[in-house]
Amino acid sequence: MANFQGHALPGSFFLLFGLWWAVKCVLKHYSRKLNKKNHLHRSFDKLEVIEGAVKVTFSTIGILAEQFVPDGPHLYLYNREPWGWVKMMNWQHSTMYLFFGLSGVVDILTYCPARLPLGLDRLMLAIAVFIEGFLFYYHVHNRPMLDQHIHTLLLTAIFGGSASVLLEVFLRDNVILELFRSSLTILQGSWFWQIGFVLFPPFGGPAWDQEDHENMMFITMCFCWHYAVAILIVGLIYTLVHCFIQRCRASSGLTEIKLSQHKEKKAKEDRASLLNASDEE
């Protein structure tokens, strides 16, 4: 949708997934370090299925929002009177959501009893992100200079994310790649919101001058700030999860110590009662 809401909706989806992926990859990293692979991997398989279902749900919401808003195409691709395509921008956004929905379906089929080959989930996600960038590359031709530039910056995050996910097909469970993917997804989400604020000011503020070169310079610098914030968020998530796991390990260690002390005390009492019984005999 060519409005603020049309950019805020995918931005919110990408932000949520970027934050969740950062938390999940740090948890998986520590689960492998704690040598609890088999037990925890079953739990993560269930989470992957849920994640796939959420992808399908979000994608369906996105497609319905693009198609059935009051000025949407309502599933009409071509008009005969007057002759012409119907709302191509909405159809492009719907196509983007379609591929992310397919990625969710592959997630479910990979981790449910059907068990597709491991790696297809990452491959389909890489394709979905690439399709997103491919569509946006031809999305802004012949539009004002600032409009083209701000979408071109988005392509940097999109194609970087696609390449990162493609590497994960071959380098499975690589925490560095997963954190990199999470940071770029958070960047995508925040930048969609930024595009909405620049091109469609939601509070009725003055419109940005689309041909001002200094506006382009500021937007480029702003993009770098967005990525700096994304990196800080991923670093904060890593730190918080690390502290949480360390606290859980410390509390479980104390519990084990208390349990062993209780067992030792109980064994001593049992031995003492046996000795007393033998003395009485």
- The closest of 257, 189, 209 to 14, measured between CA atoms, is 189
Q: What is the pLDDT of residues 16-51, one digit of tens each?
A: 999 999 999 998 888 777 765 445 556 677 888 899
Residue 224: the pLDDT is 96
Domain count across the chain:
1
> Between these two residues, 221 and 201, which has the higher pLDDT value?
221
Q: How confident is the model at residue 226 (pLDDT cuts 50, 70, 90)?
A: very high
pTM: 0.84
pLDDT, average across residues 70-89: 84
Q: Are the CB atoms for 192 and 157 separated by under 8 Å?
A: no
Domain that holds residue 48: 4-280
Q: Beta-carbon neighbour count of residue 262 at 10 Å?
A: 10
Residue 37: the pLDDT is 47
- The region of weakest confidence among 64-68, 210-214, 217-221, 244-248 is 244-248
Alpha-carbon distance 262 to 46, whole Å? 36
5's CB contacts (< 8 A; 6+ apart) are 196
